Structure 1
Amino acid sequence: MNHLFLHCRPGFEKECAAEITDLAGELGIYGYSKTKDNSAYVLFITHEPDGAAQLLKILRFRKFIFTRQWFACAGVIDGLPVSDRVTPLLAAAKNLAEVRELLIETVDTNEGKELSGLSKKFTAPFEKALRAASLFSQKSGMRLHLVFISGTQAYLGVSPINNSSPWPMGVTRLRLPKEAPSRATLKLEEAWHHFIAAEDWDIRLAASMRAVDLGAAPGGWTWQLVQRGMFVEAVDNGPMDKNLMETGQVQHILSDGFLFEPKKPVDWLVCDIVDKPARVTSMIIKWFTKKYCREAVFNLKLPMKQRYAEVKKCEERIRNELEKAGFRVDIQFKQLYHDREEVTGHLRVF
């Protein structure tokens, strides 16, 4: 298999393509990308016949910023008969590895959403055919992906379960709590799901921890911290949600987030301030070099051009400055489903 299918946010196909070209090139696997504006996916075609399969094995999925989900395939399956799509897709599946599970997906566009009905109806008969052909195995470490591009076109491929997103299309589906002050609350919740293993939540997101939320108003991110039982210094010149303040866990500090410095170190820093990425990067470096916090989630608002290059520049700067200061750095960036023209960063030092 020499095709990689990469899900991404609509409008970020060029960033997704630049990223896979960069990461694959670092590993000595070369190819080219096929993109279409606002299609919400990229095809990366390797020069080596098994290049895509090699990338699945050696490239860590957590390195991706703009790729939500990926799988290796042999290219588009075209001309699917409307009366019987199962037979040709089953024939294609027999050329792939045994799998433990099946994900039937769409792309994240209006056209893709229109195909969600077909995907749901197709799941049961296709699963039945796969089982009858003995293509499922509980011992397998692979997942089968099926993405309908139209009623007659689809991509069918595989990804390693332990080196891909566990969610269809790489999208974490979360419900907006009625009590939350804003939809922004979902960004922090999704960040925790993405960056912190579920078994670590009770330790790293523990009750009674202390946190600072820069640019807090009206309190979407603070609300998530409070729900975990933390005590929060919410820094913003704007008003905070009244119900949130009544919890007794929040101290509202009227100040500019870039100028604020805590009197004592805290466990968590979260920051969703709209400003230039370079300025946010400088602030994050300051907080960690001065040991104001142990862990952070923050957003970088992206420029109109060179968005991938800008994120990599900020990441390299943070890593270099903190390593120079003697820290061991664990840093990741991801364009989450609830992000827009931004990416979310997670930073932890040791």
Structure 2
Amino acid sequence: MTGLLCTCRQGFEPELAGELTQRAAEAGCAGYARTQRNDGYVVFACDDIGLAAALPWRGLVFARQKLALVAELRDLDPADRIAPMLAALAGAPRLGDVWVEHPDTDAAKPLAGLARSFGNALRPALRKAGLLTPKEDARLPRLHVLFVEGTHALLGIAQPADAAPWPLGIPRLRLMPDAPSRSALKLEEAFLALLAPSERETLLHPGMTAADLGAAPGGWTWVLTRQQLHVTSIDNGPLRQHVLDTGLVTHLRADGFRWQPAQPLDWMVCDMVEQPRRVAERMATWLREGWCRHTVFNLKLPMKKRWDETVLCLEILREQAGGLRTLRAKQLYHDREEITVFATKGPR
């Protein structure tokens, strides 16, 4: 088989399938998506070798991980699962690492033990066959073995520069004891998933200015202060006192949808519960008017037609913000019925 293997949040397989189908068609790559609800992954079958380059991982909204599909192996013999995998990998490029995983679903969680133990057996076999380097090499392609069942696995290859750098596509973040809310993890993950390492270095500097719309109780403001940004937090509700005590925060009791800064800011973030189109329009106004250069915000998706709503909201941003340099969106691990958007405008 050829095509893509992408993982996603359980229950969002139709959205990912719709996204892959539309994006592939726009790129001129004919193919079809195959999945079932709650599988936690989508296979997009396509013979076009340019598909992977046409659909970069950071540009996909609902894909946690993106892999070039190598093979789907069914009816594996539990006594020897390795031999069919070695046969399927004949002619594959030299590999720098191997990750054995399972979909992030309720049904697949019992496979975690198999994934751990099988990885320990597969690595020496791959090295003996000359397919895996003696030591981990992050510069080379990485093999992923995705166990769907004990006798059913999919093999995919990740290019490190065009794939999530975390197993299952999930960054392992720990909620700090002084974080005002769990929502802090969403902004931390957004900076990791939506910004490349070089962008984090150039776009997040101590001393920069930011606004947090709908800030209470202060989770996203707290994340910004940890980057040593000066934050104006907009919310009629209270912020945690230790966030205010950083000396980096000005709390204004105002409506986040009406407030605007007196001077341009470097950043604006927003996690307000509002209709996604209204949020997209307000974020576009901030960018168009030059009130901020960079923004991260969430769009709360409807229960139905979530991919269609995503397309519409992103188009609103492109049309109304005017001359965006960057526009990316992801459904993060710490998101639920929402996606997180990063947009930037103007010189870096």
Match of 1:170 in 2: 169
Q: Any runs of at least 4 consecutive aligned residues in structure 1 with deviations exceeding 4 A, and if so which?
A: 137-140
Cα separation, 2, equivalents of 1:60 and 1:4: 11
Say whether 1:88 aligns with 2:76.
no
Given that 1:322 and 1:329 are in contact with CA atoms closer than 8 Å, whether structure 2 keeps it comes out as no
Say whether 1:38 aligns with 2:33.
no
Say whether 1:272 aligns with 2:268.
no
Match of 2:97 in 1: 101
Match of 1:147 in 2: 146
Distance 1:125 1:75, change over 3 A: closer
Q: How far is 1:136 from its partner?
A: 2.2
Match of 1:61 in 2: 57
Of 86-95 and 209-218, the range deviating more from structure 2: 86-95
Distance 1:140 1:218, change over 3 A: closer
Distance 1:139 1:346, change over 3 A: closer
Cα separation, 1, equivalents of 2:203 and 2:326: 14
Q: How far is 1:139 from its partner?
A: 9.8
Match of 2:16 in 1: 16
RMSD: 1.7
- Amino acid aligned to 2:20: I
In structure 1, the gaps of 5 or more residues are none
- Amino acid aligned to 2:117: K
Given that 1:56 and 1:159 are in contact with CA atoms closer than 8 Å, whether structure 2 keeps it comes out as no
Q: Deviations over 1:157-196 (max 9, x none)?
A: 2132222222222111111111101000000001111122
Given that 2:16 and 2:42 are in contact with CA atoms closer than 8 Å, whether structure 1 keeps it comes out as yes
Aligned to 1:338, the other structure's residue is in SS state: coil
Say whether 1:130 aligns with 2:153.
no
Aligned residues: 343
Q: Aligned runs of 1:208-287 on 2, under 5 Å?
A: 208-287=207-286
TM-score by length of 1: 0.93
Aligned to 2:92, the other structure's residue is in SS state: coil
Q: Deviations over 1:218-248 (max 9, x none)?
A: 0110010111111111111111111111222
- Amino acid aligned to 1:274: V
- Amino acid aligned to 1:106: H
Given that 2:194 and 2:329 are in contact with CA atoms closer than 8 Å, whether structure 1 keeps it comes out as no
Q: Aligned runs of 1:106-117 on 2, under 5 Å?
A: 106-117=102-113
Of 93-102 and 117-126, the range deviating more from structure 2: 93-102
Aligned to 2:156, the other structure's residue is in SS state: strand
In structure 2, the gaps of 5 or more residues are none
Cα separation, 2, equivalents of 1:310 and 1:212: 26
TM-score by length of 2: 0.94
Q: Aligned runs of 1:302-341 on 2, under 5 Å?
A: 302-323=301-322, 327-341=323-337
- Amino acid aligned to 2:188: E
Aligned to 1:258, the other structure's residue is in SS state: coil
Identity value in percent: 41
Of 269-278 and 23-32, the range deviating more from structure 2: 23-32
